[in-house]
Amino acid sequence: MHFERRSHYSGHLQREMHFNVYGHAGKPVVVFPSSGGSQDEYADFGMIEACRSFIDRGLLRFYTPSSVDNESWLATDKSPHDIGEAHNRYDGYIIEELVPLIRYEANWQGAMLATGCSMGGFHTVNFALRHPDVFDLSVALSGVYDARFFTGDFYGDQAVYFNSPVDYLPELHESWFIDQYRQNTFIVCVGQGDWEGPHIDATRQLQGIFESKNIPGWFDYWGHDVPHDWESWRDQMPYFLGSLEQQGKI
């Protein structure tokens, strides 16, 4: 498997940002880490190995940027506004710096796949909804989709509101977004075993919003023996990638 350990300077974040590349060809996949995770996390927990077939056959090329969650959603000493603004800088890094680099180096002009587990699932849904022209496929595993999970009540602060899918999606009516949502593929999965309680509730809430807006989505609830842990996600990710391959989407 082709592997690169990379970094580049982010003007949005004012620092060197690290990311890894796994694969030689195929649709680019941007992997958002779980809470505060590094660029190595996805491989360290066996997710790259679980997806090896898709990488080796040149269907997918994985990019694993590091997170800044410790300065945004996990920074409990900050106000909700400052947390939201810190995330917006990360959004700028991903969309305006990392994605163009991927397009150039991979010679890829089409849309990409977003994925992540736990907090990475939150990022996946948020980025896929905010940037449906960049990510036409998304696989979110065991996420939460309400920013209050991290900030508590944010009293309508716009920096948080526009990063809280269960808040902004019901009020979003612009056809530019809605039309793309209806063409894109959203996969949202959660187990029903240990530590998945709030993630089950979050998935059901998001599903209700999708249904109310007539946005297609695959909301999949795995069994009561499926915990909120990497062992579950190692099974889920190749399962969903296999389905996307069968549908001709990767």
Q: How confident is the model at residue 240, as a pLDDT?
A: 98
Residue type, 57: R
Please give the residue range of the domain that contains residue 63.
Answer: 3-246
Beta bridge mates, 20: 5, 64
Q: What is the pTM of this model?
A: 0.97
User: pLDDT digit string (tens) for 198-216?
Assistant: 999 999 999 999 999 999 9
* pLDDT in the model for residue 112: 98
CATH number at residue 198: 3.40.50.1820
Q: How far apart are CA 46 and CA 67, in angstroms?
A: 18
If one counts the domains in the chain, the total is: 1
pLDDT of residue 20: 98
Instruction: Report in angstroms the alpha-carbon separations of 7 from 38, 166, 201, 224.
Output: 12, 33, 37, 40
Contacts of 36 (CB under 8 A, 6+ apart): 67, 69, 70, 74, 119
Which amino acid is it at 194? D
**Residues of the chain below pLDDT 70:** none
32 burial (CB, 10 Å; 0-12 / 13-18 / 19+) is buried
pLDDT at 32: 98
pLDDT at 206 (0 to 100): 98
Q: For residue 187, which of 157, 156, 221 has the smallest C-alpha distance?
A: 221
The 10 Å Cβ neighbour count of residue 164 is 21
State the pLDDT at residue 221: 98
Looking at residue 120, its pLDDT comes to 98
